Amino acid sequence: MKLETKPFLIIGLPRSQTAWLANYFTQNGRICHHERMIDVQFNFNTLISELGKKHGNADASLILKHKEVIELHNQGKINLVLISRKVPEVTEALFNAYKKAGYKDAMGMTHKIITSYVGPWASLLSNSKAMIVDYHSIHNVLPEIHAHLTPEIPFSKSRAEMLRNLNITQNIAKRVREYALRMDNNRVGANQGAGRK
């Protein structure tokens, strides 16, 4: 029996190893993007179209599209894994990352992200039929995650072991600048559009 190839999503609160998982799942001709939603200006339909039938995206900001994610998963159109990490742990890790990156208002930015994500995240966890994985168990259950997201690709224990000790993380300072620039450009475009009316 041939296993069906589907696009896949990996979603978790920030600092939940989505960057590491994106790296791991980029293999055998499949690409797993990381935080691709920012690059497609938060257009969920554009993202899903880009993924086609075989690629993936590991992305915390997909939490904000929880209704669309749940609907698509319930329709059987995507494979989905949710990485569950306790909010206090996420808050501390995110604050430390912003602080290390030299972000002036690390606490304010952390608070803004956490408060905007917590409600939709709870909805995603409670209303989705996705595979839910505890953050601290990722490496222990990686074969099961692999089989759930990419069942047509054999699990490579040697690849998993090679990557296990790598600290793969997002460049927070760069990503914040990109995000701010995109938001500024969106505001300028919206204002210019309003001026033409």
Pairing mode, strands 8-12 and 56-58: parallel
User: Cα–Cα distance between 89 and 171 in angstroms, integer?
Assistant: 19
| pLDDT value for 184 | 56
User: Cα–Cα distance between 69 and 196 in angstroms, integer?
Assistant: 35
Beta strands in the chain (DSSP E): 8-12, 32-34, 56-58, 79-84, 131-134
| pLDDT value for 50 | 92
End-to-end CA distance of the chain: 57
C-beta of residue 3 within 8 angstroms of C-beta of residue 144: no
Read off the pTM: 0.84
Q: Which two tokens stand for residue 142?
A: 């990686």
| pLDDT value for 190 | 47
Question: Structural domains in the chain?
Answer: 8-196 (3.40.50.300)
| pLDDT value for 22 | 95
Q: Which two tokens stand for residue 1?
A: 């029996």
**Sign (positive or negative) of CA dihedral 71, 76, 78, 80:** positive
| pLDDT value for 174 | 62
| pLDDT value for 128 | 86
Q: Which residues of the chain have pLDDT under 70?
A: 1-4, 170-197
